[in-house]
Amino acid sequence: MLRKPPVSWKRIERGYTPAQRWVVTLDGGSSAFLKMGDDILRPGAAHTTADGLRKEYRVYSQLGASFLPDMLGWMDEPAATILALEDLSGAFWPPPWSQPHVDTVLEALTALHATRLPGAASVYENIDADPTSGGWNEVARDPSSFLTLGITSMDWLERALPELLLACGKARINGDDLCHFDVRSDNICIRGEQAILIDWNWMAIGNGQLDTAFWLPSLAIEGGPPPERTMPTAPDLAAVVSGFFAARAGLPVIPALPLVRDIQLAQLRTALPWAVRALGLPPLDGPNAPA
């Protein structure tokens, strides 16, 4: 799979999935990053780790661009599925964030969203055109898991839901843009003046502005600018993003992905205040409301 044999292996303990990650040193001194998966469907997971790597391989094999790492090798056999990429250990992995770093990522996302692949619509999932099919609509049907978070009271929810649902209904979800849909600092590094995105198993076709909007809460958590500095007039997207996290953060922990609910809650605690400011909603009134 690799042109030179490995001489040493270092396990990398990061990421939210059970896929194994290694940096290997090759004969001659060069290195590579390996992601290894299997076909075991773990409880609560949307797909196997091998299927996730197959989706990533499809992206790397079709999309050569400066915002992707170089693919060095691929193996898909019953024993293991392995994706080999260039080793980006020497790149800068934020945080901390500076405005030039933020701008570099925005430039990479703009380039991604402007990319057109022939036949992509038949290969990649199209994001649901109905923005009310989940998110705040799901919270309206059953608010119990959201309310357990203690961010708002039921009274606040009853007053705010009409505006949140109306804003979601105005949002443009679908589109023709290639979207990463998992943009966070653990999937971003910066080398020189180029941002590089990794972990492409959620790539889909939709509205690129929504792809960017989903990045902004985690960016703010890590000391970056508030979401409205990047998107000053996007109350509809603020409603969609906050609704996505509101419908999920209070659900039971996913056994195969035990850290996901924590990061969803952290993003909700930034995304919901963004929606409150953008829509002029009442202040959050729960005992665990963000300051």
Decide if pLDDT at 43 tops 50: yes
**pLDDT at position 201 over 90:** yes
The domain 6-86 having CATH identifier 3.30.200.20: the answer here is yes
**pLDDT at residue 164 in the model:** 98
CA 204 to chain centre: 12
**CB-based contacts of 126, cutoff 8 Å, min separation 6:** 174, 204, 205, 206
- What DSSP designation does 254 have? B
> Does the 99-279 domain belong in CATH 3.90.1200.10?
yes
Q: Does 10 or 107 have the greater pLDDT score?
A: 107
DSSP 198: -
Give residue-wise pLDDT tens across range 112-147.
Answer: 999 998 878 777 887 765 544 679 999 999 999 999
pLDDT tens, position by position, 10-24: 998 877 788 899 999
CA distance 281 to 274: 10
Spell out the domain ranges in the chain: 6-86, 99-279
C-alpha span between 106 and 24 (Å, rounded): 31
Confidence (pLDDT) at 131: 47
ω into residue 96 within 30 of 0, thus cis? yes
Q: How far is CA 240 from the centre of its chain?
A: 14
